[in-house]
Structure 1
Amino acid sequence: MAPQAPKLKADGLPEARELAPTIPKSRLDTKHWWRHKNLRLLNLLLLVPLLSVYSQGFDGSMMNGLQSVSNWREYFGTPSGATLGIFNAAYPLGGVIGVFFISPVADNYGRKVAIGAGAGLCCAGAAIQAGAVNLPMFVISRVVIGAASVLVGGVGAPLITEIAHPEHRSTATALFLTFYSLGAITAAWCTFGTFRIDGSASWRIPSALQALPSVIQLITIWFVPESPRWLVSKGRKEEALAMLTKYHGEGDAGDPVVLFEYHEITTALEAEEEMAQHTYFGALKEFVTNPGNRRRLAVMVWAAICSQMSGNAFVSYYLAPILSSVGLTSDLNQTLVNATMQMVSWFSAMYFATFPEKFGRRVLFLWSLVFMWLIDIAITAGSAMFQKDQTNQAAGYAVVALLYLFSPAYNLGFNGNLGLYIPEILPFRLRTRGLAIFYFTQFGFMILSTFAVPVGLENIKWRLYPIFVAWVMVEFVGVYLLFPETKGPSLEDIAIIFDGPKAKDIEGDVDHVETAPAEK
């Protein structure tokens, strides 16, 4: 009988489960993972790389909060329009610089060294920011923090993806970007608590606290296991197998998941090494000459654009001007709204982090864009009504309520789900370089949105919003046409979805794999 053709999904791509080999069932009780000492330790240690985007969330929320702090505005001459745009655009400008260091540091020296280096630089930037005495010093500090944050963030997600147990990988990686919201909560409540202080300490304290997660990472990252995929890429196969045996097999070298993973990793990396390009220009060439990689590149670029141009700049960096435009002008009201809004964002992000494993990735992107589109329309209508009649408090309060709803709508598809999707669609040899491209695009459009939005708000006010309403529709079409579903297969086997069955040619069974002695 002729073999049955693989099923096709709505986007025309083969169903992943039809092509990828099935991951064997672990001998461990991964549902009750805390019962296993080493697996429990691994999942606790994942908190260290999970902190990697905490600083990014802290920054956006802090800048929202500081714009509501009178002492900050007075100290720097009440920045607005283009000047305010420079304040906020300095951070993504640093990020654009930082992307060029992600791959050289992470691929040559390891994931842990890269996170440690970025955390140290972040501490230095926060110190400069807290001690800033003028506008140029504050801007330079934000460039430094931006460069350091993107280095840490660009390596944190791959490290989680590469060391998490296969049955925990989706949820663990999806939790990555939820720490953005946790950082935002911390910053929001810091500025709410310090805005009453008379003097520059009202903004210097939050500025200094931006270093807190980096200090924690700098101390603890050395206790986290190194990526077994990076170890194999450096010829340190015994160490890679020992790591998998200890943390994924609880010391059992014969665990079927350990054997499967080790065989998949070594086979895939040996095949990748034959075609690997070891320079940025070589990697870029590989992205545009291979059909599967061209699709990966298109997905990454489009995802980066969607993550920044869906209207989220209002909530992320310019909440204070928006609130002022609908009648909430006091420091107390604005900092309180910022703080409580960040809590709603974090709770929703944590809850939605479980969705990719249940419902898949693609559907979450699409529904997220639908909800953001509806909210953008409603915010536009409410703002227009309030500007027409500023005694219409109902319209103003409706806009505030909709701003609270925007973050959950964004988080549904572009928080945990995005943090999982981008690292997993990239093969090991291109993972950090692909993430560098993703962050380069993301921070480039962040510069555009953070610089253009305050100018637009100052000149055309609510009439700026319809631009985002129309653009989200374009984003939806792009996601529908470009983004394949990746739920199901192992990290190595996701390559089949983009490159077809020829991406994997694994011969034999995993039984022949030599195993390391079981760790006691």
Structure 2
Amino acid sequence: MEKTPSHADTAHREVAGSSPDGIPQGSVDTTRWWRYANLRALNLWMFVPLLSIFSQGFDGSMMNGLQSVSHWQSYFGQPKGATLGIFNAAYPLGGIAGVFLISPIADRLGRRIGLATGAALCCLGAALQGGALNIAMFVVARVIIGAGSVVVAGVGSPWVTEIAHPAQRSTMTALFLTFYSIGSIVAGWCTFGTFRIDGTASWRIPSSLQALPSIIQVLLVWWVPESPRWLVDQGRNQEALDMLAKYHGEGDASDPVVVFEYNEITAALEAEKKEMGGQTVVQDLVAFFKTPGNRKRSFIMVWAAICSQMSGNAFVSYYLSPILTSVGLTSDLQQTLINATNQMLSWFSALYFATLPAKIGRRIMFLCSLVAMWIVVICITAGSAVFANDSNNKAAAYTVVVFLYLFSPAYNFGFNGNLGLYIPEILPYRLRTRGLAFFYFVQFSFMTLSTFAIPVGLENIQWRLYIVFIAWIVVEFVGVWFTFPETKGPSLEDIAHIFDGPPARDTAAEKGLKDAPSPIEKTPAE
């Protein structure tokens, strides 16, 4: 639930001359952003960091598709059970290693260098994957891709959050994870188009194409504006102000939105430096458990990571082929076509749902998504059980297929764009990249568990494995209900107040508006 504004909240907004959502009224009409040259350029350049999650979506859909490609199956010896689990688990294992690169690169060298480094690793891994000569080479390549993809995701997500116009931040950040579905669509149709090729090119082509978004990023990342928060943290305040003025105020440094943002950023980072300045990485990690607010953030990140990987989504992301086989759909054509069209439905739903967090709130979307997934998994389980008892029951098989299609929209409602927005915005600047690294560490750890365990479970207990997820989603719902606060409304810096209480306001937002030095004379109150 949203916090009811206190007297201090009202006073703060009166000082800022802001609208009810905490953002001052600027000279730029963001509802018609395409009319403003600099804001239009910013939103177009944001396409580069938005591509950061593309590789993860491509990977799951590609591996789904390759399991339906006869030449891939025969080349690698018909992998099943634990062997198939190793193929898929190699990717998140690489991601676990990659999380340790996110903060050192992105916080010390900047968001541009961080993104470029991760993208370069993805290019290397995709080249090795496309040219793999044996299982070991294919698995190593997937480890490298996993490491690179988590770096670009861990850098790209906060970068979008930090450079987007405040009036567009929730939508732009929510759009981040929709590119997962775009990657899935490209991979799905690619494997559908190449499975007919008589030779190893049927799987080498999609394996190599995983480098495509990373190549685009390596080439274009140098034109994306650097994060003003990172610039202020490096003492480059004038560059930060110039960036805000150019892209959020169309060159007007006295624009109320620009002044508000600059003062909030400088004041918040000044307060964070006093509290955490000079700490080592280990001390920063300890900070996640030092205060009640940070302990709550840490629990939310862990729980959100678990919900994002242990709600049954691994079935659709990595093991669609064996599930379809279990209900009698065995041909390459059927399976690759279902995979490709399912990814299109996933993208359409993700794209629309990315516009909703700013309208209906984050918390309600998480809860509704879990309820929807629970219902879908129950229906998949029931259909699979009926078909297992009567293999001639086509209605049961088609029921499973229909609800496999519906799972992605149910998941996307709360755990696509909404999750990509929620995690970066609950973290203060100094903990943002380290917090995302921690989040991805937990997420990829559970992804490793699910991708390795599910094929073993499907091989040994078939549809009965789904029952575990029916029970577990109920537990996830309870955790979200009692611990996830609503963050709809406040500015990026003001969200800290929800977790840290009124003292954070005195040292950040109010101090920023009243006392923070600014190189410009006009203030939002004028």
- TM class, shorter-length: over 0.9
AA at the equivalent of 2:106: A
Q: For 2:356 and 2:395, how far apart are their aligned partners in 1?
A: 34
Which residue of structure 2 lines up, in the alignment, with residue 33 of structure 1?
33
What's the CA shift for 1:487?
Answer: 0.5
Q: For 1:16 and 1:162, how far apart are their aligned partners in 2?
A: 27
Is 1:387 aligned to 2:388, yes or no? yes
Q: Deviations over 1:451-494 (max 9, x none)?
A: 00000000000000000000000000000011000000100010
Which residue of structure 1 lines up, in the alignment, with residue 16 of structure 2?
none
How many residue pairs get aligned? The number is 507
AA at the equivalent of 1:427: P
Which residue of structure 2 lines up, in the alignment, with residue 45 of structure 1?
45
Q: For 2:140 and 2:294, how far apart are their aligned partners in 1?
A: 36
Secondary structure of 2:289's partner?
Answer: helix
Secondary structure of 1:175's partner?
Answer: helix
AA at the equivalent of 2:54: Y
What's the CA shift for 1:516?
Answer: 9.8
AA at the equivalent of 1:117: T
Is 1:414 aligned to 2:415, yes or no? yes
Preserved CA contact (<8 Å) 1:383 1:462: yes
Which residue of structure 2 lines up, in the alignment, with residue 83 of structure 1?
83
Preserved CA contact (<8 Å) 2:23 2:167: no
Which residue of structure 2 lines up, in the alignment, with residue 470 of structure 1?
471
- Counterparts in 2 of 1:16 and 1:65: CA distance versus 1, 3 Å: farther
Preserved CA contact (<8 Å) 2:267 2:516: no
Mapping 1:237-256, distance limit 5 Å: 237-256=237-256
Which residue of structure 2 lines up, in the alignment, with residue 330 of structure 1?
331
Is 1:355 aligned to 2:360, yes or no? no
- Counterparts in 2 of 1:18 and 1:197: CA distance versus 1, 3 Å: farther
- Counterparts in 2 of 1:110 and 1:335: CA distance versus 1, 3 Å: same
- Counterparts in 2 of 1:396 and 1:226: CA distance versus 1, 3 Å: same
What's the CA shift for 1:512?
Answer: 6.4
Q: For 1:365 and 1:303, how far apart are their aligned partners in 2?
A: 9
4+ residue runs of structure 1 moved beyond 6 angstroms?
Answer: none
Secondary structure of 2:197's partner?
Answer: coil
- Counterparts in 2 of 1:74 and 1:46: CA distance versus 1, 3 Å: same
Which residue of structure 2 lines up, in the alignment, with residue 187 of structure 1?
187
Q: For 1:393 and 1:400, how far apart are their aligned partners in 2?
A: 11
Preserved CA contact (<8 Å) 2:161 2:169: yes
Which residue of structure 1 lines up, in the alignment, with residue 520 of structure 2?
515
- Counterparts in 2 of 1:467 and 1:163: CA distance versus 1, 3 Å: same
Q: For 1:367 and 1:16, how far apart are their aligned partners in 2?
A: 29
Preserved CA contact (<8 Å) 1:16 1:497: no
Q: For 1:99 and 1:14, how far apart are their aligned partners in 2?
A: 37
Mapping 1:66-465, distance limit 5 Å: 66-276=66-276, 278-465=279-466
AA at the equivalent of 1:79: P
Preserved CA contact (<8 Å) 1:102 1:114: yes
Secondary structure of 1:288's partner?
Answer: coil
What's the CA shift for 1:513?
Answer: 2.5
TM-score, normalised by the number of residues in structure 1: 0.96
AA at the equivalent of 2:323: I
TM-score, normalised by the number of residues in structure 2: 0.95
Preserved CA contact (<8 Å) 1:57 1:183: yes
What's the CA shift for 1:278?
Answer: 3.5
Which residue of structure 1 lines up, in the alignment, with residue 19 of structure 2?
none
Secondary structure of 1:88's partner?
Answer: helix
Q: For 1:443 and 1:313, how far apart are their aligned partners in 2?
A: 12
Secondary structure of 2:288's partner?
Answer: helix
What's the CA shift for 1:285?
Answer: 1.1
Q: For 2:147 and 2:93, how far apart are their aligned partners in 1?
A: 8
- Counterparts in 2 of 1:512 and 1:294: CA distance versus 1, 3 Å: closer
- Counterparts in 2 of 1:512 and 1:135: CA distance versus 1, 3 Å: closer
Which residue of structure 1 lines up, in the alignment, with residue 499 of structure 2?
498
AA at the equivalent of 2:234: K
- Counterparts in 2 of 1:516 and 1:460: CA distance versus 1, 3 Å: farther
What's the CA shift for 1:515?
Answer: 2.7
Q: For 1:176 and 1:360, how far apart are their aligned partners in 2?
A: 17
Q: For 1:17 and 1:412, how far apart are their aligned partners in 2?
A: 35
AA at the equivalent of 2:75: Y
Secondary structure of 2:226's partner?
Answer: coil
Q: For 2:341 and 2:359, how far apart are their aligned partners in 1?
A: 28
List gaps (5 residues or longer) in structure 2: 14-21
